[in-house]
Amino acid sequence: CDVRDVQRLPASDYVCAGFPCVAFSRAGLQRGTKDRRGTQLFDETVRLLRTSPPRIGVVLENVPRLITWDNGSAHRHVCASLEALGFLVHYRVLNAADYGLPQQRKRLLYVAVRPGHAFDWPAPVPVEQRLVLETCATMMSKSAGVSLDNNEGMENSLLQNEEQASAGRGRR
């Protein structure tokens, strides 16, 4: 479905959206606001927010570089567009690893809420090494077609290797 053909969104408390980051990403052509792939989808998001406003708020996601692109003009445009729709805008760069995902992935999040609705950023959740290792062991055992119940040796081996590797660098 082409978003340009969508006239209204279903009634909702929140709308979550993202728009192409390739225009602002270091991995892309870095054309910024001159690249319609990102700006056109953002404009369509704003149009749909105007015709189908969520009751409480909006969550948008993109690359951190959007904040500084062209001296902050793209970032100011996002904030001003959401404010013009009556939202209070909060933004922050968060790292997925701080919230339980086993990868370093920084993303810029905008959380815009209606006046009268409180918003606080969630505190980071430290990931214990054990949980990451258990996840890796589970994934490896599934790909090998082996149950972890019968494969404690692999998990113990992973833990042993991690303990040996970290012995010289200390743990947090």
The residues annotated with a catalytic role in the active site are: 21
CA dist., res. 30 & res. 22, Å (int): 7
CA dist., res. 149 & res. 153, Å (int): 10
Give the residue from 44, 65, 60, 38 showing the smallest Cα distance to 2. Answer: 44
Sequence-distant (6+) residues with CB within 8 A of 87 are 57, 58, 112, 113, 114
CA dist., res. 146 & res. 139, Å (int): 10
Output the CA angle 106-128-90, nearest 5 degrees.
35
Give me the count of residues in the chain: 172
Rg (CA), the chain: 21
